[in-house]
Chain A
Amino acid sequence: MKNRRLAWGVAGCVLALAAVPVQRVCQAQEESREATAFQFTDIDKQVLDEAKTMDEVFQHKGLVMHDADLQAYLDMVGRRVLGSRAAPENVSFQFRVLRDPMVQAFALPNGTVYVTIGLLSLLQNEAQLAGVLAHETSHVYERHGYLENRSVRKKMLTINILQIAASAVPIGPNVGTVVSAFGLALQLGSMASSVALVASVFGYSREMEHEADSDGLIAMTAAHYSPAELAKGFGLLKDDSHLEFEPFTTFYRDHPKLEERQTFAAGYAANHAAEKLDSGDEKGYLAKVAPAICAEIESDLRSRRARTAVARATRLNGIFPENLRYRTLLADAYRALGPKTPLPTDAEKTDHGQSEHRKEYFKMTEQEEAARLLKTPEGQAALKESQDKAEGLYKNVLSDDANFSAALRGLGFLYEDEGRYEEAATEYKTYLSVEAGTSMDHMRMERRLAAVQKLADAAASTGPAKN
């Protein structure tokens, strides 16, 4: 009797497991039909509401960058990529810059397309930006957010039902493993957040991403942008990805996918090599997105991403050497770099090196990491080089404009870091005389001046040792 019950239970589980691959084939066919004749369900409307809420939250928290010229530029490129295609139902395409240093772009199912300051800072020209926008708008046209949500919900329900079925079977030597395996799968599934929007941000299924790449290349070519630039853009993403530790791998950083995408885009571009299509020049592009790059550099400096800050500021300064603000940002970046090298060493680029970097990021504060590096001759040499470069750049700015307040402040910070308190106090005094008394930074700098003045007076009173 007992054996018969056990046999029925195992048979039930085997039948349920066998149903999963069959269901997958049916689902793929269903998704293909669904994309061509999309009908909104109540679940889809919930996703739409959630997307609208996300838009509101980003705005409310000040995460959307408001720069009129930058916005106008992004809108222009976005509209060109969209062309004369009508927007699908419940879609209103809007293009926004997100204040986030991570290299990322995503489109919500309601048509809001976000590009981060991190991604804008990395790209080289307008055609690469157009490629990104074309890819993201393709996700919206193909309803990938809704389809992915439906697919995962069905899978979760299947897993849940299987687990209930399994739990009805008495525990035995053959069945116990199955039950615990289902429990584990359910635990992992339960930890996921809102499926549709997570997929929007972090990447859809392989097939959907390939479809968006394909549609995106067609759209950008139709808009007279060179698809070869998108392939170059993937190359940039690959080369840039080892500069810093990043807490998670975004879709635009995922290496195996990047290589596949680069190969696919290059192949498509080769078929359109004879056409005269626009790339856009780097200088023109950087001039348009410079506010985003400046915001990104400042964000990097607050987020332990000094290497990225140096890379971005070097590029900006190289194209616009006459700009005092960009030169000061480069000086700030070198000052923040401290005992780190501007580029990762070969050891740091390996998997082990990346793993060690990740551990350090979570175990050590920024100050502790710097202290550890300063114990090595390489760290001390790197610090000297960074500080010399920073000082040179600050002084260079002040030789063009003696009252450039950001450079005065930065040079004061540098002198203070080096223990040159008297010189730091001089820079702070000049800064305070130049900046308005009601500026946001005034009180902080007054406190800094008081502190370094005390240290300078103490150093002066001890004086050099007498023989």
Chain B
Amino acid sequence: MKTRFAWMMILALLVAPAAKAITPSWSYEAAKITNGSFPIRSACMMPATGKLTRIGMKGAEGMSKESEDWAAALESLVEAHLKTANVEMTPAMSVGTSSASAEEVQQAVLQVAEKYNGIAAQINRKPKEIGKGRYTLGDEVALLPCAAKADVIVFVAAEGQVTTGGKKAMSLLVGGAIPYASLVLTMADAKTGEIVAFARMSNAENFGEKFVAQANDVFGKALDKQFGKLRLGTYQKAHP
């Protein structure tokens, strides 16, 4: 028993740093991105969604406020990386030159989010089908004032789980919930609503309560890698 426990601790210590460093990521894109006929130089950023759960010895607890903070941090992170690639960014809530009120724009954002939620399940099941132009939000996306000048509309959705100290110790002993963070990024043509790009990245590190501060550590490199593959902005030049 003591020997087995010791080996488990050694294995956990060996695996942990490696898990920290790795954020596997995948992306899929439409043919018009692969062949360079649809350059992405400007984007409209939808409000990001994030769901964090804390798993402790007394079960799971939602983290509503922390989820909102995390979503905002990830939205800023993705925006910053896109700006670094010389992609011009506009928030979806921006009224622009339209005569719409802020509340009307907010409702339009909700409507577009609703359309996205309606096909998100299919996209997540078979993201490769993006290459065949299978998925579309319809041209209602053009209701957003920001869509007038944008090439794409960007959706960011994240999910994560953190474990408390007691739960972590318990997981080492008997297995159970593991910490993780995953990010899904989807891009839709701002004129037609066609889904043109999809990227998914996951990390198994227990970033504990530093999910906001460590957002770039966890996802930064994976974002750069996938933006390069998607031929965004200056990434197109750096990764022909």
Q: Which residues of A contact B (CB under 8 A)?
A: 46, 50, 53-54, 57, 60-63, 66, 99, 152-154, 156-157, 160, 163-164, 166-168, 170, 179, 182-183, 186-187, 189-195, 197-198, 298-299, 302-304, 361-367, 436, 438-441, 443-444, 447-448
Point out the residue from B57, B104, B147 that lies within 8 Å of A160, measured CB to CB: B57
Pair A299/B114 contact, Cβ less than 8 Å = yes
Pair A187/B142 contact, Cβ less than 8 Å = no
Pair A190/B100 contact, Cβ less than 8 Å = no
How far is it, in angstroms, between the C-alpha of A362 and the C-alpha of B121 when the chains are bound? 6
Pair B114/A303 contact, Cβ less than 8 Å = yes
Pair A190/B64 contact, Cβ less than 8 Å = no
B119 / chain A contacts, CB cutoff of 8 Å: 365
CB of A131, distance to nearest CB on chain B (Å): 29
B175 / chain A contacts, CB cutoff of 8 Å: 183
Point out the residue from A194, A304, A366 that lies within 8 Å of B62, measured CB to CB: A194
B176 / chain A contacts, CB cutoff of 8 Å: 163, 183, 186-187, 190
Pair A164/B135 contact, Cβ less than 8 Å = no
How far is it, in angstroms, between the C-alpha of A152 and the C-alpha of B60 when the chains are bound? 10
CB of B174, distance to nearest CB on chain A (Å): 4
Pair A63/B99 contact, Cβ less than 8 Å = no
B55 / chain A contacts, CB cutoff of 8 Å: 190
How far is it, in angstroms, between the C-alpha of A193 and the C-alpha of B159 when the chains are bound? 12
CB of A118, distance to nearest CB on chain B (Å): 13
3 A-B pairs closest in CB distance: A194-B62, A156-B59, A444-B142
- CB within 8 Å of A: which of B40-56? 47, 53, 55
A448 / chain B contacts, CB cutoff of 8 Å: 139
CB of A434, distance to nearest CB on chain B (Å): 15
CB of B171, distance to nearest CB on chain A (Å): 10
Known: A66-B103, A447-B139. A164 touches B58 (CB 8 A): no
Instruction: Give the interface size class of chain B.
Output: 35 or more
CB of B155, distance to nearest CB on chain A (Å): 14
**Does chain A have a CB within 8 A of B35?**
no
How far is it, in angstroms, between the C-alpha of A362 and the C-alpha of B119 when the chains are bound? 8
Please, which residue of chain A has its CB at the minimum distance from the CB of B100?
A: A440
Known: A66-B103, A365-B119. A156 touches B139 (CB 8 A): no
How far is it, in angstroms, between the C-alpha of A376 and the C-alpha of B61 when the chains are bound? 49
Interface pairs (30), CB distance under 8 Å = A46-B61, A53-B68, A57-B64, A57-B68, A63-B110, A66-B103, A156-B57, A156-B58, A157-B58, A164-B170, A170-B1, A183-B176, A187-B176, A189-B59, A190-B59, A190-B176, A193-B60, A195-B59, A198-B62, A302-B111, A302-B115, A363-B122, A365-B119, A365-B136, A366-B118, A367-B136, A443-B142, A444-B140, A447-B191, A448-B139
Pair B58/A440 contact, Cβ less than 8 Å = no
CB of A45, distance to nearest CB on chain B (Å): 13
Please, which residue of chain A has its CB at the minimum distance from the CB of B148?
A: A443
Pair A303/B118 contact, Cβ less than 8 Å = yes
Please, which residue of chain A has its CB at the minimum distance from the CB of B134?
A: A365
- CB within 8 Å of A: which of B58-92? 58-62, 64-65, 68
How far is it, in angstroms, between the C-alpha of A54 and the C-alpha of B104 when the chains are bound? 22
CB of B117, distance to nearest CB on chain A (Å): 8
**Does chain A have a CB within 8 A of B214?**
no
**Does chain A have a CB within 8 A of B173?**
yes
Pair A444/B143 contact, Cβ less than 8 Å = yes
CB of B94, distance to nearest CB on chain A (Å): 13
A62 / chain B contacts, CB cutoff of 8 Å: 103, 106-107, 109-110
